[in-house]
Amino acid sequence: MPSKNPAFSRGFGNNAGPGQQYAGWGNAPQYGAPQYGAPGQYGAPDQYGAPAPQDQYAAPSPYGTTPATRYMTMDDVVTKTGISFLVTVLAAAAVWAMPGNAAWGLALPAVLVAFVLGLVISFKQIANPAATLAYGALYGVALGAISEAFNSIYPGIVVQAVIGTFGVFAGMLVIYKTGAIRVTPKFTRWMMGALIGVLVLIVANLVAGFFVEGGLGLRDGGPLAIIFSLVVIGVAAFSLLLDFDMADEAIRRGAPAKFAWYIAFGLLVTVVWLYLEILRLLSYLQDD
């Protein structure tokens, strides 16, 4: 099931280690060696005659992994995701603790580097701890500076945003586990359309801001901005269902244990987006 999340939208094709290549969704790997009793590669029957029985449990993994490879479990996903979030939070706390406005000198470079690194991880599907934790640390630096700025204007808003973010996360996890909303191809298409629509509106509002004060009014704190922010939070929240489903699918298909770092990266992208949008919405509501 393809995911809305850009980190998950390309399947598992490029996450193999040296000498490995995952076959992808539903594509069986091709092997050139003949089977006993089947015509050999030169067209002659196998010398052993009758075909040997095949053990279905000995069939190769669709990801092309060796028998020594440990497959990913839900514990791997939970552990790697937890470590990634911890690194992000610790980086944000360290930046927040810096004296004066020193954090703002680090925020913009951190965002730019994290953005580029995120694109590289997404499109090359890098699944290793160094890449995921570096991304988490960089965004932690940016989040620390942004959170400190918001909290200086609206005291207590960061605590509210954190509670709201993990409340939404827990709620969507319950919805997914209970099957209240099922992740189907139709649901995925709707989510992809919603995401593209949100991105188009954000870019259009940014461009319009260069010519008209406030742009399209989607980020000026007014009623339209509040409605738009609620829509964005909804899209981010429902995209978590796709991320959860992608993790389950990877486990079912026998992805290697290290792929959990890629799952953790994708979840981190969505949760950071969700937190920033909730923080923005709360600031609008406190201005009213």
pLDDT of residue 68: 61
Q: Is residue 81 part of a domain?
A: yes
The secondary element (H helix, E strand) that includes residue 24 is none
Cα dihedral: 158, 161, 166, 171 (round 10): 160
Which amino acid is it at 216? L
Say if residues 34 and 40 touch (Cβ distance below 8 Å). Answer: yes
Farthest-apart Cα atoms in the chain, separation: 84
Q: Is residue 185 part of a domain?
A: yes
Q: Would the pLDDT of 4 be above 70?
A: no
Q: Would the pLDDT of 108 be above 90?
A: no
Domain that holds residue 138: 74-287
Look at residue 257 and give its three-state secondary structure. Answer: helix
Q: Would the pLDDT of 176 be above 50?
A: yes
Q: How far apart are CA 211 and CA 19, in angstroms?
A: 53
Q: Is residue 263 part of a domain?
A: yes
pLDDT of residue 134: 94
Closest CA to 94 of 169, 28, 148: 148
Q: How far apart are CA 285 and CA 207, in angstroms?
A: 25
pLDDT tens-digit series, residues 215-238 = 888 888 889 999 999 999 999 999
Q: Is residue 134 part of a domain?
A: yes
Average pLDDT estimate for 265-275: 94
Phi then psi for 71, rounded to 5 degrees? Answer: -80, 155
pLDDT tens-digit series, residues 35-77 = 434 444 444 444 434 444 444 434 444 444 445 678 899 999 9
Structural domain count of the chain: 1
Q: Is residue 66 part of a domain?
A: no
Q: Would the pLDDT of 279 be above 50?
A: yes
Q: Is residue 233 part of a domain?
A: yes
Look at residue 245 and give its three-state secondary structure. Answer: helix
pLDDT band at 288 (very low <50, low <70, confident <90, very high): low
Q: Would the pLDDT of 14 be above 50?
A: no
Q: Strand (E) positions, the chain? A: none
Q: Is residue 8 part of a domain?
A: no
Query: pTM for this one?
Result: 0.74
State the angle between helix axes of 260-287 and 74-96 in degrees (0 to 180), rounded to the nearest 10.
50
Lowest mean pLDDT among 41-50, 92-101, 110-119: 41-50
Average pLDDT estimate for 10-38: 40
Average pLDDT estimate for 258-264: 92
CA 86 to chain centre: 16
Q: Is residue 166 part of a domain?
A: yes
